[in-house]
Amino acid sequence: MNADTNILEIQGLAKDFAGHRVIADVSFGVKKGEVVFLLGPSGAGKSTVMRCMNYLESPSAGKVLFHGEPVDTSEHGLNLYRRRVGMVFQHFNLFANLSILDNITLAPTSCGLMKHAEARELALQLLRRIGLEDKAHAYPSQLSGGQKQRVAIVRALAMNPEVLLFDEPTSALDPEMVGEVENLMRELANDGMTMLVVSHDIDFAMELANRIIFLADGKLVADASPAILKNSDNPRIRDFLSLR
Amino acid sequence: MKEYNCKKILLLLLASMLCLFTACGEKAENRQKLIMVTNATFPPYEFYQGSKIVGIDADMVREIARRNNLELIIEDMAFDSVIAAVQTGKADVAASGITVTEDRKKQIDFTTSYVKADQVIIVRDGSDINGAESLKGRRIGVQHGTTGDTYVTANIGEPDRFQDGALAVASLATGKIDAVVLDSAPAQEHVARNAGLHILPTSLASEEYAMAIRKNRPELLLMFNKTLMDMQLDGTMAAITAKYQGEKTKEHTATQSSGIGSWLAHSFEINFVKDGRWKYLLNGFLVTIEISFCAVLMGLAIGFLVAVIRSTHDQTGRHTVLNILCHLYLTVVRGTPVVVQLLIIYFVIFAAVDVSKVLVAIVAFGVNSGAYVAEIIRSGIMAVDHGQMEAGRSLGLSYGSTMRSVILPQAFKNVLPALGNEFIVLLKETSVCGYIALQDLTKGGDIIRSQTYDAFLPLIAVALIYLIVVVCLSQLLKKLEIHLKKNER
């Protein structure tokens, strides 16, 4: 595969809520190994764009392309697509009724990707990597916020996705727990994981991103490297960056 | 795909239920059967002796069956249901001290009458009621659906209608009502066993008893009439009548005068020990548990199915037709009383099918409970955080898979207290089973009361047994709740 083609791409994406257009004509792509951040003021539509990209919201107009092909939006097609595009949520959304181990093994085994023993081995290996091996048989309610989010990230990793979508992964955390999650994301980026991140954390974006997409009022304002964006003379971007 | 799956499950459920019914309907058939229905709370015509229904009517039909080489099956049900049972073909004959009236002749055919009976008035000693005229404006008890009921309603005023004569007499004895209008023969039995009551010398109306047979069955009517005539000619009828008229029980003559303790011991002996009457409670208890347990399982199955269909429709807009069906089911079942549903299922839906009554009750209570369980579980599903479904879907799990592995287990845990409540209600609701002649726990107590003419101890015993079962059930549910809560802090 050509390294320059986009793994994931949106073209002319739009989304209406109750007849009101909240996203209008947004297009961008993410290449293999890239870390792209979606930044912008509250209400800019960052999360909505991301949720449209794996069809948790259905787009009102526009296309989502995976490896250059439009996504098959049938029930079965979406299930297959989502197995290759992982997602991490602001509120972790660990399965409350399952142990940490079962949280990680449920999807790989239910989707028939792995045998149970194999999935269990992988889960333990992932937990060891984030230092939570001893929590394998604990339940989500027994973990701190930072621990939960790290488990949520390895839960997505267990499906061996090609892209990981992060929807404000540190926004619901206490400040002292932000670091452990950001460290794990740094590790993933260094390992070459393709990542799209919705965030409020400008410093983290400037540090980690290859590219930053800046959204305001549901429209794409800029798509540039952190260095270029820092020197932008667009007043909305300057306002936003001055907040840090 | 989804829709197809759900329909398949529904079809399977329906098919397996049908199989169950037909399986229960099949019975070994050697001799032809004669099914007689009666209300065995009416001594000396029909009452329980041990577990057997005896009395003038019962022995008479037993003899008729014997002479015509038929296998007799006697079923006990509420008096206001016996004629309906014959009319709908659930039974061949009703012999239950049924008075011949013009109205009833329109519904069924009567055999030649075999007994003359009077409607008499029972009052407390010292009452100022001395005849039909002085009944006006007083509180009068009758047995629901009897000619006494019809007579009082038409000529005097609205009576208090009791399920059996013993309850009416017990109410009279405790001063809740002023008089009871009843057929003369059972009236004499009641008065003989209750101190402080007597029958007024003037009777209200004279009438005849006959057996009821479904219309358009002339061969059966002819057989009955012919045998009845034979029995009258050879003296069998007189012998049967004499046997019961002479048999006045004296078991309840020990009165409260000998002190509370010995009265209680005596009453306990009479109500539970004598003739093995405790067996009515034990057998009734087993029937109640069997019906409740199976109905709970059926209700859970229906409830889960309906709840999932409804929530899926709410969240995704799929299954429109199924959703409308579910909505209709919920509206009908929750909009009508369970006892009416039970009677409709027995007398209308299964009118032509010979199914076990336990099964009818399980279906009636299961279908009823399913509607409530469905809404309870649906509320549980709605209470589960939406993010749980999104997380499942984002990992590539299907809607059904996420529902099964993630949403339903959490929903079930959320609603366990409400479900426990529903199970307790269901258990107690099965006490209306007596309407279709099932001998459940409540009915068991009724039978003891009809034999001993004592309301206190049998009712207390029945209440205690229900209470104990409910307490045990609550404890069990509490254990389950704690077990499921182990993954929470």
CATH of the domain at B36: 3.40.190.10
pLDDT of residue A150: 96
Does B359 share its domain with B396?
A: yes
Residue in chain B lying closest to A110 (CA): B397
For chain B, the domain total comes to 3
Does B319 share its domain with B466?
A: yes
Does B107 share its domain with B132?
A: no
Measured between CA atoms, how close is A227 to chain B, in angstroms? Answer: 33
pLDDT of residue B251: 43
Nearest residue, CB atoms, A110 vs list B390, B391, B401: B401
pLDDT of residue B379: 95
pTM to 2 decimal places:
0.74
Answer whether B2 sits within 8 Å of A75, measured CB to CB. yes
Contact residues on chain A for B390, CB-CB shorter than 8 A: 56, 89, 93
Domain with residue B431: its CATH number is 1.10.3720.10
In a domain, B450, yes or no: yes
Does B49 share its domain with B187?
A: no
Does B187 share its domain with B306?
A: no
Does B336 share its domain with B408?
A: yes
Average pLDDT over residues A4-33: 92
Does B311 share its domain with B393?
A: yes
Answer whether B406 sits within 8 Å of A79, measured CB to CB. no
Mean predicted lDDT score pLDDT of chain A: 93
Does B226 share its domain with B334?
A: no
Burial B393-428 (b: 16+ CB within 10 A, else e): bbbbbbbebbbebbbbbbbbbbbbeebbebbbebbb
Q: Which of B205, B239, B266 is the last residue of a domain?
A: B205
pLDDT of residue A91: 95
Does B196 share its domain with B329?
A: no
In a domain, B333, yes or no: yes
pLDDT of residue A226: 92
Instruction: Provide the CA B15 distance to its chain's centre, in angstroms.
Output: 28
pLDDT of residue B27: 42
Q: Would you state the structure tokens that stand for residue A74, as one six-digit string?
A: 């049938």
Does B69 share its domain with B134?
A: no
pLDDT of residue A3: 53
pLDDT of residue B93: 93
Per the structure, the complete domain to which residue B41 belongs is given by 31-114+210-250
Return the higher-pLDDT residue of A75 and B204. Answer: A75
In this prediction, residue A4 has a pLDDT band, given cuts at 50, 70 and 90, of low
Contact residues on chain A for B489, CB-CB shorter than 8 A: 141-142
Q: Which letter does DSSP use for residue B32 in this model? A: P
Does B173 share its domain with B235?
A: no
Answer whether A86 sits within 8 Å of B487, measured CB to CB. no
In a domain, B179, yes or no: yes
Intra-chain end-to-end CA distance of chain A, in Å: 39
Q: Which of B205, B240, B267 is the last residue of a domain?
A: B205
In a domain, B264, yes or no: no
pLDDT digits (tens), chain B, 489 positions: 444 455 555 555 555 554 444 444 444 446 788 999 999 888 888 888 877 899 999 999 999 999 999 999 999 888 888 888 898 888 999 999 898 888 888 889 999 888 888 889 999 998 888 888 888 889 999 988 888 888 888 888 888 888 888 888 888 988 889 999 998 888 888 888 778 899 998 888 778 889 999 988 889 999 999 999 899 889 888 888 888 875 544 444 444 455 778 878 888 888 888 878 888 899 999 999 999 999 999 999 999 999 999 999 988 888 999 999 999 999 999 999 999 999 999 888 887 777 888 999 999 999 999 999 999 999 999 999 999 999 999 999 999 999 999 999 999 999 999 999 999 999 999 999 988 878 899 988 888 887 777 778 889 999 999 999 999 999 999 999 888 877 664
Does B220 share its domain with B285?
A: no
In a domain, B271, yes or no: no
pLDDT of residue B351: 77
Whether B94 contacts B82, CB under 8 Å: yes
Whether B473 contacts B288, CB under 8 Å: no
Average pLDDT over residues A196-205: 92
With vertex at residue B412, the alpha carbon angle to CA B409 and CA B417, rounded to the nearest 5 degrees, is 150
In a domain, B266, yes or no: no
**Site from B384, B394, B485 to mutate, A interface, most A CB atoms within 10 angstroms:** B394
Measured between CA atoms, how close is B4 to chain A, in angstroms? Answer: 14
SS3 A33: coil
Answer whether A82 sits within 8 Å of B387, measured CB to CB. no
A170 pLDDT exceeds 90? yes
User: What is the rounded CA–CA span in Å between residue A5 and residue B482?
Assistant: 54
Average pLDDT over residues A191-200: 94
